[in-house]
């Protein structure tokens, strides 16, 4: 019943593992020259490699009827990945259409430290090592949304981890949250999504994004297969997203998830988080060039058995920093 640091690392940092999967934003200027829309602009046989680094620090304790004075109170998980995207097929014309992509974990390593033995930490290292060499495939529709995903079962034998990956992947596509009419510099937009798999049924992820400015990309993009080019070559759109996680209702309301209730459990307490993501996206190609994220999450809740009154108290703080950078690309388009 402890806070699952593996899933937290995925939620906080591995968002970037598959974040590379896609800020597929082919940017089409409208008559004003300021408003842009995000649509796929990829070519068959193009390849992109992204380096992902994530560090998650967890502090806190779990109190149960059985006292464990040697239990870990602080741990560190560092993740190092290199993910390759291969565009298997894409429309031969300039018109948007289905794009089929394969994502392969060329490198996947995790290092962990703790102030006491934590049986979950060795498993975290093994879980990420299990990803190395494995891949998934997905299809983007004409609007840039993920239409299908295959191979999730090969990433992890844990079905809940596969579901978490699918949920995260869906959240990485900007078109799902962007205004249909496009965006322009200075514009803000908001989104709100429920948090699945949490110990509270009313947890909500709320975000606000701002298209800040255009500026030179933070690293050379000369190796990118050509996109729109022109005045946009080497320039990036900078988008800032701030987000919070909190309970929708009162901290005293009953938000016990249905699967907990079926097993005779009751949950009460708090779970909050805040953070931000800063993305730089190539205007010429619409690909993510660099992204950084920070998140600070705090949990303080009880899980009580209605049958015998036994209780588990979880109190923790999770802080994460992540970075995704385009390392290399190739292709003929």
The answer on pLDDT for 17 being more than 80 is no
How far, CA to CA in Å, does 131 sit from each of 152, 219, 222? 11, 28, 30
pLDDT at 220: 53
What residue numbers bound the domain in which 273 lies? 5-330
Confidence band of 124 (pLDDT split at 50, 70, 90): confident
Confidence band of 160 (pLDDT split at 50, 70, 90): low
Between 227 and 99, name the one with better pLDDT: 99
pLDDT at 142: 79
pLDDT at 277: 93
Secondary structure (DSSP) of 254-283? ----HHHHHTTEEEEEEEEEEEEEEEEEET
The answer on pLDDT for 231 being more than 70 is no
Between 261 and 218, name the one with better pLDDT: 261
CATH number, domain containing residue 81: 2.30.230
CA 93 to chain centre: 31
Q: How many domains does the chain have?
A: 1
The answer on pLDDT for 261 being more than 60 is yes
Between 253 and 122, name the one with better pLDDT: 253
The answer on pLDDT for 70 being more than 70 is no
pTM greater than 0.85 (yes/no): no
Confidence band of 68 (pLDDT split at 50, 70, 90): low
User: What residue spans of the chain are helical by DSSP H?
Assistant: 5-12, 120-131, 152-155, 159-171, 258-262
pLDDT at 175: 55
Residues linked to residue 304 through DSSP beta bridges, in sequence order: 266, 311
Q: Which two tokens stand for residue 304?
A: 């009580």
Most confident of 24-28, 62-66, 188-192, 324-328: 188-192
Give the pairing type, strands 26-29 and 36-39: antiparallel
Q: What is the mean pLDDT of residues 318-332?
A: 84
| Phi, psi (rounded to 5 degrees) for 238 | -110, 120
Most confident of 119-128, 134-143, 266-275, 278-287: 266-275
Least Cα distance to 24 among 286, 324, 292 occurs for 286
The answer on pLDDT for 164 being more than 60 is no
The answer on pLDDT for 150 being more than 50 is yes
Which residue carries 């036994």 as its tokens? 310
Average pLDDT, the chain: 77
DSSP, collapsed to helix, strand or coil, labels residue 229 as coil
The answer on pLDDT for 268 being more than 80 is yes
The answer on pLDDT for 330 being more than 90 is no
Per-residue burial over 165-178, b = 16 or more CB atoms within 10 Å of its CB, e = otherwise: bbebbebbbbbeeb
pLDDT at 15: 44
């Amino acid at each position: 019943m402890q806070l699952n640091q593996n899933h937290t690392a995925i939620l906080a940092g591995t968002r970037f593992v598959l974040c590379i999967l896609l800020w597929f934003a082919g940017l089409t200027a409208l008559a004003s020259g300021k408003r842009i829309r995000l649509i796929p602009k990829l070519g068959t046989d193009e390849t992109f490699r992204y380096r992902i680094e994530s560090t998650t620090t967890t502090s806190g304790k779990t109190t149960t009827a059985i006292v464990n004075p040697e239990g870990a109170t602080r741990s560190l998980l560092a993740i190092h990945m290199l993910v390759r995207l291969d565009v298997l097929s894409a429309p031969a014309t300039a018109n948007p259409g289905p794009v089929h992509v394969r994502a392969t974990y060329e490198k996947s390593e995790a290092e962990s430290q703790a102030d006491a033995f934590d049986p979950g930490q060795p498993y975290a290292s093994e879980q990420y090592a299990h990803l190395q060499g494995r891949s998934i495939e997905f299809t983007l529709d004409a609007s840039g949304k993920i239409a299908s995903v295959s191979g999730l079962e090969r990433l992890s034998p844990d079905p809940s981890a596969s579901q978490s990956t699918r949920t995260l992947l869906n959240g990485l596509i900007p078109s799902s949250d962007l205004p249909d009419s496009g965006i322009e510099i200075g514009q803000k937009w908001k989104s709100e999504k429920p948090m699945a798999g949490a110990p509270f049924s009313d947890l909500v992820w709320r975000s606000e994004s701002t298209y800040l400015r255009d500026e030179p990309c933070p690293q050379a993009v000369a190796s990118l297969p050509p996109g729109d080019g022109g005045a946009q070559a080497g320039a990036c759109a900078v988008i800032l997203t701030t987000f919070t996680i909190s309970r929708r209702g009162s901290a005293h309301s009953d938000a016990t998830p249905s699967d907990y209730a079926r097993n005779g459990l009751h949950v009460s307490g708090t779970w909050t988080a805040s953070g931000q993501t800063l993305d730089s996206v190539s205007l010429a190609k619409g690909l993510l060039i660099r992204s950084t994220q920070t998140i600070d999450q705090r949990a303080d809740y009880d899980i009580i058995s209605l049958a015998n009154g036994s209780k588990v108290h979880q109190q923790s703080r999770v802080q994460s920093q992540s970075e995704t950078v385009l390392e290399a690309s190739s292709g003929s388009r």
